[in-house]
Amino acid sequence: MLIFKKSIPRRTFLRGTGVAMALPFLDAMVPAMANEMGKQPLRIGYLYLNTGRIQDSWVPSTTGPDYEMSPTLAPLAKYRKDVTVLSGLDVVAGKGSHSGPCASFMTGVTANGYDNKGVAVSVDQIIAKQIGEETQLASMELGVDPPEWAFNRVDGLAGYYTSTISWRNPKTPLPRQINPRKVFERLFGDTDTLDPVAMQRRLARKISVLDEVSERVKRMMTTVNASDRYKLEEYLDSVREIERNIEVAESKTAESADDLAAMGLERPVGIPSLYADHVKLMMDMMVLAYQTDMTRMITFMFGHEGSNRNFLELGAKDGHHSLSHHKGNPASIELIKKIEYHQSEMIAYFLEKMTSIKEGDSTLLDNSVIVAGGAHGDANLHMHTNVPVMVMGNAQNRIRTGTHLKYEGDPVSNVHVAVMNVGDIDPAEFLTERSDATGILKGLVV
């Protein structure tokens, strides 16, 4: 039994000058005399896997709980009990090469650049509308590719059809935030009483957000138990590390600005030069946003659909999209496999963070349902069948994990309906006449 003289409100912020630091869940937030931890909120997320997969390296050769881990999924072996691989799913509404399937992935609606109908409200925004009032931020839309990298007028559609998966309404796409500094300030800036001048002064003086709340932290440490002190120290260490990594990225960006300008290139301030560093930094902040209940709905794109990013660190001089049209060339296929394996490593990093955070007798991942998937199976042929999909986290024991489930052309949209089901979200807005969804994906929901 946990006994506290006075419980701390769940939505507690430590405020400083231009700073509002939300706290993670603590024992002291349990009402006095409580004999159980109470139900944690369910976090929901989508990680978009861009530009297809090499099928024989991605799809496991066997099904069921004892399936053989495929080469591209190997980095996730440690977390196989937390992951269910779904194969045989199609983006049924995904007409076209890259723009159409990408726009259909979260909306379940065919995108046509010539009928001016747009698409539909994406599943993440339907969820955000129903649960967003419970958190500081209704949703977060994150990525790593700048908007100017997006394809334009592909399938008769504008560039934003490949650079976002989130749609507020049929004709309003939501842009990705790719700058770690801006994400950090959105999470820890005092949005209620924001003083932009004070915030800029803090950044100019390189004062940490932790400096602004240090006295409040010290006082809190004297009022909570040993377990909570440990949780707070871990949380503050994470914030400090993220802030330090952003500062390093900003410093390196400043040092190389002249060289980039001479090449006719520009890198936004605070964006790490290495892809893995950028992805990990964004994922670190995703985890903090979930941990502190700043938001319960996040979408993240590993890259624009059809992104032609270079992965020189992997030995890939040609761009991702160019390599994906390999035409059977063994060297190009091997480089694509390296890129896809690299993205699996990033997902493993995310799962490590999510499973390391304890919430009572469960973990942050246990209290989540995260879908990783894309709109192309074979990007070489622009096939939007047998697309890559995984579901991670058991959604508080409502999602079946630790297995490989194979389907026969069921729509990816049925995964979205399953996510809404376990999140107690009304799916009516998603299940329209234009949607390709047919119901909850069989076998996924417990």
Single-letter residue type at 77: A
CB 266 within 8 A of CB 240: no
Return the domain boundaries, the chain. Answer: 1-38+193-270, 43-178+272-446
Q: What is the pLDDT of residue 32?
A: 44
**What local confidence, expressed as pLDDT, does residue 207 receive?**
82
Low-confidence ranges of the chain (pLDDT < 70): 1-6, 31-38, 114-116, 191-200, 202-203, 205, 253-269
**d(C-alpha 219, C-alpha 425), whole Å:** 40
Q: Find the distance separating the first CA and the last CA of the chain, reported in whole Å.
A: 30
pLDDT value of position 151: 81
Task: Please report the pLDDT score of residue 88 as a whole number.
Answer: 98
Task: Supply the angle between the helices 275-291 and 330-356 in degrees, to the nearest 10.
Answer: 30
Q: How confident is the model at residue 198, as a pLDDT?
A: 63
Instruction: Check residue 254 and give its pLDDT.
Output: 56
- Rounded-to-integer distance, Cα 298 and Cα 45, Å: 5
pLDDT of residue 195: 58
| Sign, CA torsion 90/428/177/213 | negative
How confident is the model at residue 414, as a pLDDT?
98
Per-residue model confidence (pLDDT) at position 191: 55
Query: What 8-state DSSP symbol labels residue 219?
Result: H
Q: What is the pTM of this model?
A: 0.93
Cβ-contact 412, 371 below 8 angstroms: no
Task: Give pLDDT, residue 31.
Answer: 63
Q: Point out which residues pair with 16 in neighbouring strands.
A: 19
- Residue 238's contacts (CB-CB under 8 Å, 6 or more residues apart) are 284, 287, 288
The CATH T-level fold of domain 43-178+272-446 is Alkaline Phosphatase, subunit A (3.40.720)
